[in-house]
Structure 1
């Protein structure tokens, strides 16, 4: 890392990305989540907001209230472990201040519509002139190139344009949106991977580059076999409900107190299942004694499913997991309260405490386990502009009078 990293690094930063300085211009989720991942891994992430137009997820529910203090847990979850500064990039003085910060940084992240940074006079080319090694991560609905690049987009745009929405739901019914912001999340994950790859190259060559991430591209990559089923066989993926396109039994099955996922479709797993439920002869039934026979839709629906439902309905989700879960792919379909309280999820560190409005609040953790690295307490999301003076003093050497003048001018 260059010497400037030591200037820009926040005190107490630790982890595999310690020393990496990220300027985070992103808002909402597609971008803030990427920056959060980098921050959780030890990077110094500086969230930059317009003092007159901050990230509007600061008002998103749920709101944690503690006396006179109140804070969005939604915002806090995606902006933990970051410092926060306020800069008005519409002002010339704000642009100049940002360019100075870029000289001391390694990564710039933005999720504006393509062309926005160019209009601000802060394009990649401008920033690269300030710092040739800068990695520029850009997340947008349709990417920086192509005929749709200038279109505005949200998560649902990615789900719609990437094909996933058309595949989700039940046969003979309108397609259904995936029940989470999968487009935002997928784009953030790919952005984190791309930024880390570009950082490695910048360390080796001294040259940065643009990491161009499209929500449409990201969603398309999640559609499993849909592309090759179309290009090879001309088959257009349609909603299948809880079924798989060809693997059976592999889906949702009712039990005494809810539903489970069962995926024991191979000959080995099928024989084990029949034995566990006291019916080993079912594995030798000539109608269903091979995986290929069980894949047949009619056989799966008229022979296999009734057999499984008869076995499963006698037991609860917990009983089925205890009986089968260690031997055959079977998992309870859990509601989010069950997941949050799940002992395995907690043993894996996936539910962590974060101060929100001064109140310890459980939020999702980071699903990247690095054995041997002690988990550090999570720092709260920054208040609007909370670290402006500290960051500008540390990175740029500005004194209190300099910062006060910038504040009076509306720059910070």
Structure 2
């Protein structure tokens, strides 16, 4: 693997989604990630589906989403032999990722104090549902529960009376993202202090951390935000609109863009109820109805072309098959090919970061590849022997 974290070793004790996503991000950045799984079934997400693929229809596409660029070993951490192996791996690792419930790792014999006794330079990423302390710190948490408890569902849906979960598991994924950047910061700090530290986040923290202007609407403005369907809570016109053959999205974030939209649709932009964003927001239902009446005259292709010519941000609402076949998606490295031990050559969603080559072709080290080589999510325990051999070599 190439990348900024080349040479970093990550011991991934996590399962399901938040922790594995964090470890996968570190693997995308070049770290060697060793995924520890229980011999009896491994990561529980191996059984989550449909869809399942493969000759025996037993490979979970859910698992494939969060475990690229990892090696899998099987360890029973409750046995003396398993504990000894984990101790050896901890000594050789830079980062440990776990998302057990609070106290579980302690009961397994690996409290933070013990981990840092084994390896003072170890950075520990710990992800929980609702935090590591506080009156409800011990609660178990899954994504949808956290979306509700952290207020996200109250902001999502067609109306305040119909809260919806976000379609993607954003609490898990955001917790993984926050955890990965916390690890990067702790590794940087370690270069100056020589010691690792514990990085903590939770599903609750991850969702609350992206409230943004919804949060300040309450904490500063004293207003409780509610779901507003497919239209922005603070900017108008900004949302999804019906035209002759379906829906498209228009985002007029300032008065200049609004005037361009109004000119295309034959609406007077200086009418008192539409002249400013504050007025447009107050009369949003009327404005949306007037815009959709004009948009009904043509199909999406017509309007997207006209809006693009005018410089107004607009777009289609794509299904995932359309997203992954879109040349723009592929041009950004958001689809990667890997060789899976059972499935053969497959495509996976790619990492969202790209790094330039500041030295250009002449500045590249001899033998360095131009692009990182990604590896497929592993079969259960497929790398146990090779990791043990690597560990013995490190220890020598």
1:199 aligns with 2:187: yes
What SS does the aligned partner of 1:36 have? helix
Contact 1:25 1:109 in 2 (8 A): yes
What is the deviation of 1:140?
Answer: 0.8
**Range that drifts further, 20-29 or 229-238:** 229-238
**Range that drifts further, 110-119 or 73-82:** 73-82
Structure 2 partner of 1:382: 378
- What are the ranges of 5 or more consecutive residues in structure 1 without an aligned counterpart? 1-12, 400-412
Structure 1 partner of 2:77: 89
Q: List structure 1 runs of 4+ shifted beyond 6 angstroms.
A: none
Structure 2 partner of 1:309: 292
Aligned positions of 1:274-289 closer than 5 A: 274-277=262-265, 279=266, 282-289=268-275
Mapped to 1, the partners of 2:329 and 2:204 lie a distance apart of 30
What is the deviation of 1:73?
Answer: 2.3
Contact 1:254 1:260 in 2 (8 A): yes
What SS does the aligned partner of 1:76 have? helix
Mapped to 2, the partners of 1:185 and 1:32 lie a distance apart of 9
Structure 1 partner of 2:362: none
In structure 2, the CA distance between the partners of 1:189 and 1:350, relative to structure 1 (3 Å rule), is: same
What is the deviation of 1:70?
Answer: 4.8
Mapped to 2, the partners of 1:172 and 1:19 lie a distance apart of 49
Residue 349 (structure 1) aligned to one of 322, 333, 346: 333
Contact 2:160 2:226 in 1 (8 A): no
What is the deviation of 1:59?
Answer: 2.4
Contact 1:24 1:110 in 2 (8 A): yes
Aligned positions of 1:265-344 closer than 5 A: 265-277=253-265, 279=266, 282-296=268-282, 298=283, 300-302=284-286, 304-325=287-308, 327-344=311-328
Residue by residue over 1:273-301, the C-alpha shift from the partner in whole angstroms, topping out at 9 and shown as x without a partner, is 23344x3x7234344233332222x3x32
Residue by residue over 1:235-266, the C-alpha shift from the partner in whole angstroms, topping out at 9 and shown as x without a partner, is 22222212322321111111222212211142
Mapped to 1, the partners of 2:57 and 2:314 lie a distance apart of 44
1:164 aligns with 2:164: no
In structure 2, the CA distance between the partners of 1:50 and 1:287, relative to structure 1 (3 Å rule), is: closer
In the superposition, the TM-score normalised over structure 2's length comes to: 0.90
Residue by residue over 1:127-182, the C-alpha shift from the partner in whole angstroms, topping out at 9 and shown as x without a partner, is 10011010000011012121111111111121122111122212252311111211
In the superposition, the TM-score normalised over structure 1's length comes to: 0.87
What SS does the aligned partner of 2:66 have? helix
